[in-house]
Chain A
């Protein structure tokens, strides 16, 4: 009797262990020594709160958007006037932060070269949820001016989920403010689920990223 139970228990344990191993990320880019330092768990989709709680949380999220201070392209030059006294984005509760851990909005400043995409992915994954992405400029939509360049990507939404695009080259600060207000509205309506999209389609995003980033020497998900 007790043997039977033990058998069943080990079987189910094995099953769990097998499923857990499948859920684990391979982290093939790291050396064996480094693998011990990095987490290999997959990102999980987050369930929303129930009813009014989620609405309240969304309202609160929309009122304090903190930008990651990473000027990935030339679009970053219009963030300077936006931060300073003339356009003053602080009045909308938007402010730049120096580290991904503190920020909730990632502004992709225009074109992204392959070398930058690697850093974009890393910074995006390090950001704490809920997180939103704002694609700035035509280059993020379809490559813009550099559609035939060998070093800039054409569509940023193949590598990270994007919530709002602001078109133009360069978009004016007013357009940026309009984009931020649109993002706020979408957050309040609960439509900015980019983080969950990323977790659900994680393998697809990762395959796209690994196709262009040839020397992948970081963990598969940067917790």
Chain B
């Protein structure tokens, strides 16, 4: 228990910029791309907001909305981050923002870089990257459908991708309650019982284990 909490505290700190090695058995060895040295350059050119090194082969940087696509283009063409791994959004409803994450991979250095940008939740919209990677359009189509983030100019962004005839608010937004929607719409079969897992575990399954925790 003690060792776990110690390891956890050494694990991650958001936006602190300190490089930490988490020994999670990923078995990394040998020297890696010193991404830290690139941060000042990027800061000058693209005004980085913050940076964080999560692992030897993974870092996250945050850039303002205005320079994002220029920064990604620079990374793709000049720094070797030519592979768009994925592109997705995180909904921080309490802060009123969506955090878009472009994950890029550099095959030469074997390094992943997550480029993050905060956009306001109201009238969410972002510049399109479909001209950089064709499958960027697919990701943007999904984001438009699942989060309601608009990407003007992206081909087919208004077509439905996964859902068909969806009339509610975009389902991946935090304010959408999937359980309520399901119960309202899909005739739940009576008989499903929910137990409080802690109580149930104490009573039924492992009384001795529950005591020790």
Which A positions have Cβ atoms within 8 angstroms of B?
A: 114-115, 118, 141-143, 147-155, 158, 208, 211-215
State the majority secondary structure of interface residues on B: loop
Contact A148 B166 (CB under 8 A): no
Binds A, one of B6-14, B117-125, B175-183: B175-183
Contact B191 A142 (CB under 8 A): yes
B17 at the binding interface (Cβ < 8 Å): no
What are the interface flags for B95-138 relative to A under an 8 Å C-beta threshold, 1 for contact and 0 otherwise?
A: 00000000000000000000000000000000000000000000
Which B positions have Cβ atoms within 8 angstroms of A?
A: 162-168, 171, 176, 178-179, 181-183, 185-189, 191-192
Closest to A142 in B: B189
Q: Give me 15 A-to-B residue pairs in the complex whose CB atoms sit less than 8 angstroms apart, sorted by A's number.
A: A114-B163, A114-B164, A114-B165, A115-B163, A143-B189, A148-B178, A148-B182, A148-B183, A149-B178, A149-B182, A154-B189, A155-B187, A155-B188, A155-B189, A208-B187
Instruction: Give the residues in chain A near B192, CB-CB below 8 Å.
Output: 142, 147
Q: Distance in Å from the Cβ of B173 to the closest Cβ of chain A?
A: 11
Q: How many A-B residue pairs have CB under 8 A?
A: 57
How many angstroms between the C-alpha atoms of A152 and B165 in the bound complex?
A: 14
Closest to B166 in A: A214
Among B176, B179, B181, B188, the residue within 8 A (CB) of A142 is B188
How many angstroms between the C-alpha atoms of A174 and B179 in the bound complex?
A: 34
Contact B187 A158 (CB under 8 A): yes
Contact A155 B164 (CB under 8 A): no
Instruction: Give the residues in chain B near A143, CB-CB below 8 Å.
Output: 182, 186, 188-189
